[in-house]
Each structure stands twice: as C-alpha cells, then as structure tokens.
C-alpha cells in the first residue's frame, strides 16, 4: 500500500493538520481491511507494524483517543500467542516510547536507553536489527546524559562489529564515531584540518579562547539561518576571547570560497579539497565525530575542554553570557 500522508493541502497549519488527520484515518481503515483479509503471520506482522506507525502519527497530531487506541493495540500484540507479533509489540512499543524521549527526566531516559540496548543486543546482526539500531541511536543522541548515550553506541558498535558484512562494519564505525562525539563534553576535542587558505589548522593553538566549532554547508538552510546571530555573538565576544571555526561539508571548493568571500564570513573555515572521499559527509572531521546532520555546533571552553555538543540558538547565547559575564 502506497500512501503519501504528507501531501496535504491547506492555507493554514490547522487546515493542513486537519487534512493530514483525514488521510491518516483512511490509511488506518485500509490497514484494518488488509488485516482482516490476510491471515499469514508474516503479513500480519508487517501490517501491525504499519498500524502502530500510523498510530504514532496520530499521537503526534493529537488525534482524539490516539494514545488510548495505540496503548490498546500494543497491549493486544504483547499478549498475542504469536511470538512474531509479540516482537512487533516490543520493537514498535520501544520506538513509540522513544518518541517522547526529550521530555523525560535523566533517570527515565536512562531506563529507556537500557531497554533499547537490551532489545538490540538480544536480536541478530541482520538488516532489520541494523535499521532498529540506527533508529534507537538517532533518538537517544540528545540524551541529558550524553556519556550514557555514548556507552550505548559503543556497545552497538562492538555488537555489529563482530559481523563480516561490510554494511554492518560501516554501521559499527558510525556508532563508534557518534560515541566519540557524545563523549566530548569535559574532554579536549582533537581537531586538525586545512583552512580555505590551504593552511594547516590545529584547534589546540586556540587554547585560552572559547571556540564554537560549527559543522555547516552552503546548501544547508538551517545552517545559514544561524549566521546572523553568530555574527552578533562574534562581534560582541571576539574581542574578549571568543572564536568560531566553521567546518564546511561542501563539495565544491571554488563555490564555497566565493560564498565565504561574498558573505564576508570573518571566522576560520575549514575545508578539504580533493576527491569526494574527503568532502561532504566524508569530510575527515565529520567522519571522526559521526556528524550525520547539520548544523552541529560544539562549544569548547578556554581550558580546551568541550562544554556542550548542542551549542545552537538560545543555548549558545546562554553559554556565552555565562562565560563572559562582564561583557554587556
């Protein structure tokens, strides 16, 4: 069944949400019809998985009774005589709980991370579990206890690293890199590279200054949208020991150079020339720290240790006001 839930029309957000709810209801009815017509266990598992996913969307857009209906569905699957359907409940129920991960306390997040880890390690190193590990990893990366999230990634890396499958080996390496980034707070950030002027750069040479490391690209709208506020911070705090280091994931060096000149970006920008093996998402620094979405901003203190790996927007402003209390 092919249903594009996200092609909705409406002049306002409320109208688009209403249209989405209508399409969602139709999709749920279609799944119920197919469940009644298909008794094969594998088909039932796929359809129930889809039904839970649709239920999760219903919760997100505040469909009436969506939470109660989804809880009842998961309970039904958990108590099924079929081990396959019970596993659907375990997997999809975990993802549903992770939907609200950011709203939980550190203690609640810890419990949920342990549940996610247990699920992955109790299943095989196959494609489905690989996908599940990616989903769990993505959903816990902003945990209040970043080191705990890093530990989960490290155990995932060791688990999938046992496989000789090249794809799972790649997943293992990505998990290791993400763990490396999540473990940065409280530790130095080893960062070397090449500037736009083709000069060697080493972050250690900036020790004594507060440094914002910004992973970005010219094609990234949210990245560029951060620039006006970054310029304000730079103008205000640079005279007092604040620096910015941009790490560009662009692939076209000439275009990037022209962009930096036209935009009059005053801070250091790092970029690797050469083949695609060192550009874009393959930039050595991006791969080193598991950067898989941008903007990603990491704030390094004057002592050389990372303060936070989430230094965007209001959080960056709050940190700078704390670090430079005498600056008005």
Contacts of 289 (CB under 8 A, 6+ apart): 177, 178, 180, 181, 184, 298
- pLDDT, residue 128, reads 87
How does residue 8 score in pLDDT terms, banded at 50, 70 and 90? confident
Instruction: Tell whether the model's pLDDT for residue 1 goes beyond 60.
Output: no
- Pair of tokens at residue 61: 């857009």
What global pTM score does this model have?
0.83
pLDDT, tens digit (0-9, with 9 covering 90-100), for 214-251? 999 999 999 999 999 999 999 999 999 999 999 999 99
Domains present along the chain, CATH in parentheses: 13-182 (no CATH), 192-323 (3.40.30.10)
pLDDT of 207 > 60? The answer is yes
Name the average pLDDT for the chain. Answer: 93
Share of residues in the chain with pLDDT > 70 (%)? 98
pLDDT band at residue 276, thresholds of 50, 70 and 90?
confident
Q: Is the distance from CB of 196 to CB of 184 less than 8 angstroms?
A: no
Strands (E), the chain: 192-194, 200-202, 210-216, 242-248, 268-270, 296-300, 306-308
Q: What digits encode the pLDDT tens for the residues 161-189?
A: 998 889 999 999 999 999 999 999 999 99
* pLDDT bucket at 282, cuts 50 / 70 / 90: confident
- Banded pLDDT at 126 (limits 50, 70, 90): confident
Angle between helices 166-182 and 146-161 (to 10 degrees): 160
**Tokens 């596993």 belong to which residue?**
87
Dist. CA 243–CA 210, nearest whole Å: 6
Q: What is the pLDDT of residue 3?
A: 53
């Amino acid at each position: 069944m092919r249903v594009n839930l996200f092609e909705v029309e409406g002049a306002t957000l409320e109208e688009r949400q209403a249209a989405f709810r209508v399409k969602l209801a139709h999709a749920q009815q279609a799944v119920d019809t197919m469940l009644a017509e298909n008794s094969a266990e594998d088909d039932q598992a796929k359809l129930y998985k889809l039904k839970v996913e649709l239920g999760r969307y219903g919760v997100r857009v505040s469909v009436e009774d969506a939470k109660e209906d989804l809880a009842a569905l998961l309970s039904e699957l958990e108590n099924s005589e079929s081990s396959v359907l019970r596993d659907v409940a375990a997997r999809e129920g975990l993802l549903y709980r992770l939907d609200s991960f950011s709203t939980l306390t550190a203690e609640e997040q810890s419990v949920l991370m342990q549940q996610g880890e247990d699920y992955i390690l109790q299943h095989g190193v196959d494609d489905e579990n690989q996908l599940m590990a990616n989903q769990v990893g993505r959903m816990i990366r902003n945990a209040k206890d970043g080191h705990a999230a890093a530990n989960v990634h490290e155990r995932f890396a060791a688990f999938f690293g046992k496989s000789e499958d090249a794809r799972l080996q790649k997943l293992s390496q990505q998990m290791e890199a993400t763990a490396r980034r999540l473990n940065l707070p409280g530790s130095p950030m080893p960062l070397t590279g090449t500037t736009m002027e083709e000069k060697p750069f080493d972050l250690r040479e900036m020790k004594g200054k507060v440094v914002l490391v910004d992973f970005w690209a010219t094609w990234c709208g949210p990245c560029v949208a951060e620039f006006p506020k970054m310029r304000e911070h730079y103008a205000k705090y640079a005279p007092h020991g604040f620096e910015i280091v941009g790490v560009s994931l662009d692939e076209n060096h000439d275009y990037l150079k022209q962009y930096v000149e036209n935009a009059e970006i005053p801070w250091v920008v790092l970029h690797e020339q050469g083949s695609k093996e060192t550009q874009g998402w393959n930039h050595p620094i991006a791969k080193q720290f598991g950067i898989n979405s941008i903007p990603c901003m990491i704030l390094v203190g004057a002592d050389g240790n990372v303060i936070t790996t989430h230094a965007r927007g209001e959080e960056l402003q709050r940190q700078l006001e704390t670090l430079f209390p005498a600056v008005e």
